Chain A
Amino acid sequence: MKYENEQALPRARKAGLVVKRLNDEVLVYDLKRHKAHALNESAAFVWQKCNGQRTVAEISEVLSKEFDVCADEQTVWLALEQLSKFNLLKERVARPVAMPRISRRNLMRAGAAAAFALPAIISIVAPTAANAISTVDPRECRMRPRTLCLGTPCDTRTERRFVCRTGRFQRFCACRTPEGP
């Protein structure tokens, strides 16, 4: 992975993303990794300012102006590290060695969050269709009497379609492929 030097010029990734604005936040869907991210207002702002030409110091300056707060480089780095972690930057950026890492909690204690929410990104893995339908838990399936297997789909968190049914040689319900013996 390529790391930039101390004069980091972060560049937002655009390719392979679906981006939607929702009130102050931004929703991003990563078509390659099938992950969805919700960027809060300040994280979205930093992401939008990453054009490959602004330094971290310059981004912190526009952030301060926009939100009318004193947002230092630490706040921008907090956003950049999350953006980097969720693959929303074209190239990973690394905090300068000389700059100490300050946790979100310490930043809040230092009062950076007094006037605006610190950058935050929440992420989920998009569900497969099988994960988004009514299913039976495999343990629950095994507890069913033989006459009540009923072929209900099993909640196995995989793409394979398992159903709750008996096998040819078994007398109990279990999650199996629909067409097996």
Chain B
Amino acid sequence: MEKIDRLGWAAGIAVSKFGLRIGLRVNEPHHLKAMIERLPPGWKPGSTPVVDLIYSLLISNSASDARLRRFNLLYAGSARVARSLDADAVLTVFESDVQMYVGLQARRRIFVHAGAVEWKGRVIVIPGRSTSGKTTLTAELVRAGATYYSDEYAVLDERGYVHPYPRLLGIRVPGTGVSTKVRADALGGRVGVRPLPVGMILVTQYQAGSRWRPRKLSAGRGALEVLANTLPARTRPEESLNSIQQALTNATIFKSHRGEAKETAELILQSSPRG
């Protein structure tokens, strides 16, 4: 760590989120903005320079000697997490690493890999693995009038309430696996600001040609579906189960394959149990 500390750092910032203090430092001041843009939503400037984890981004200056291949490097504490000639690739690794760090270590919060929108005062949670169509369905629910909470993480507290995690929606370009970032207001939606209880859990996956034919799952079965997408499931199982238990006590759980997101979103909002 001392060796990294001795490198020439030109700019830095301490931020805090969910009780975690994170430091960022770069050797080129203008790259600090790129790092800040990739921080979890809702971060605040830290009140103290003491941090739990410091990310160090070393961007190579290729103009200094064109004959040398200089790598861009990213360290989390003393561990190197990325080395690439492509600075964007290193920043993408930073984004996923800092999100995973916050998701695993956030105090009194349980991160579930899920889309989340608010409808009629309760949150609809759509847990699922990557490429299951969470973001597409979340985007369509927002277009249909629901309030955006997150397309990536449903953040649960100890009461089982869902807190907003309104990062930009990462909508994948079909066939490429590459996602473009879209603001919720660009979809005509609003962004949630306060924690709310869970009203519905949707266990669903896109399947071409399928129709939305939901069947109700028991709370226990639903809890396993949520736990299967919980980041700290292994590291903090008791806390995870407690939040899931609270979240599901009054929630309805449905499971079904789905076809096109637009018609599914309309059917979901029409069938929402609370008015």
Contacts and interface: CB of A to CB of B under 8 A. Distances in A.
Contacts, number: 150
A165 B82 CA distance: 10
A122 B224 contact: yes
Nearest to A150: B92
Interface of B: 80-84, 86, 88-93, 96, 99-100, 103-104, 112-113, 129-131, 152, 170, 176-178, 218-221, 223-224, 227-235, 237-238, 241-242, 244-245, 248-249
A175 to B, nearest CB: 12
Interface string A111-140: 000000000001110111111111111001
A135 B178 contact: no
Interface of A: 18, 20-23, 25-27, 29, 31, 34, 36, 38-40, 122-124, 126-137, 140-141, 143-144, 148-153, 155, 161, 163, 165-166, 178-179
A84 to B, nearest CB: 20
A162 B36 CA distance: 24
A18 B113 CA distance: 22
Most buried by A among B80, B170, B245: B245
B152 A179 contact: no
B176 A20 contact: no
Contact of A151 (B82, B229, B234): B82
A110 to B, nearest CB: 24
A126 B223 contact: no
Contacts of A39: 220
A163 B82 contact: yes
Contact of B241 (A27, A34, A137, A166): A27
Contact of A20 (B82, B233, B241): B241
Most buried by B among A29, A132, A151: A132
